Amino acid sequence: MSNSFERYQKRKLISSYFSVVLSIALVLFLLGMLGILILNTKKLADHFKEQVAVTVFLKDQAKDVEIKQLQQSLAMADYTKSAVFVSKDEAAEKHSKEIGENFMDFLGYNPLQNSIDVHLKAAYVHPDSLQNIATGLTEKNYVDEVAYDQPLISLLNDNIKRISLWILIASGVFTLIAVLLINSSIRLSVYSNRFIIKTMQMVGATKAFIRKPFIWRNVKLGMVGATVSILAMSGVLYYADGRLPQLDILDDPVWLVVLFIGIFIISIVITTISTFIATQRFLNLRTDDLYY
């Protein structure tokens, strides 16, 4: 009979530990992924900004030397990420593939112009900066026009600011929720031991002596949960880096190490504070109140 009761108690204890570790791991995993999102928000925003192309259309009388000099000067400019020359024949071939037929058969000539597609660095993808760049380029007598999607750029910048603000708000709210969830799991774990706490107190144990094993146990469970969440995050990051290599998610390991250490510290701090508060509550209760 006693062996059966001991096995039942052991299973109950293991189940309690598992639920605490799982809840901590899940909450820290989601919190960590949110942290990774925040760290990569600027990188992601820069990636989308640098996909916007500024097209410099050249006049038909532009000389090859002038075109090459312009391309080289654009490639060496501080604001340029890449500058690629597109001949009128290449542009016609690309356009024909897009529409599914050769439009030059109907027109009898190629109406397109030689051009240079310029992709700017993210810091310069702003309406004011683009306007200054376009003004400087159009002053050249062999440049016919500088074209870019101004409404798209304005919309892109506005959306990035809006999304960044909401991400910061969401991170604050989610951090609070994470603390509350971990705190609830630990309170339930301590609640199941409330009679042990009160018994130890009744035989003369000090509050610090009673709290110590509970705090140490939950800190260890928190560290296990943090380890599980870090392993899960590493797997997700490795998969995401393979699917989206252009984002270079794993190219800055220092920030990832700082984030993982932060997850560990958060787990220790939250479990310590939550266990202290939970045990203190039951230490201050009267014996009769433990049954409610």
Can you tell me the distance from the alpha carbon of 225 to that of 29, in angstroms, rounded to the nearest whole number?
9
pLDDT attached to residue 1: 46
User: Are 148 and 130 within 8 A, CB to CB?
Assistant: yes
- Residue 215 C-alpha from the chain's centroid: 32
How many Cβ atoms sit within 10 Å of the Cβ of residue 192?
11
Residue 286's Cβ-side half-sphere holds a number of Cα atoms within 13 Å equal to 2
pLDDT attached to residue 15: 65
Can you tell me the distance from the alpha carbon of 12 to that of 192, in angstroms, rounded to the nearest whole number?
10
Which residue is listed with tokens 């201050």?
284
pLDDT attached to residue 5: 42
What's the CATH number for 53-148? 3.30.70.3040
Q: What are the extents of the domains in the chain? A: 1-47+156-289, 53-148
Nearest to 119 by CA among 43, 49, 40: 49
pLDDT attached to residue 3: 56
DSSP at 146: E
Can you tell me the distance from the alpha carbon of 154 to that of 166, in angstroms, rounded to the nearest whole number?
19
The ranges of the chain with pLDDT < 70 are 1-17, 95-96, 98-111, 244, 246-249, 285-292
pLDDT attached to residue 105: 60
Write the burial class of residue 230 (CB in 10 Å: 0-12 exposed, 13-18 middle, 19+ buried).
buried
User: Are 16 and 218 within 8 A, CB to CB?
Assistant: no
Can you tell me the distance from the alpha carbon of 278 to that of 191, in angstroms, rounded to the nearest whole number?
8
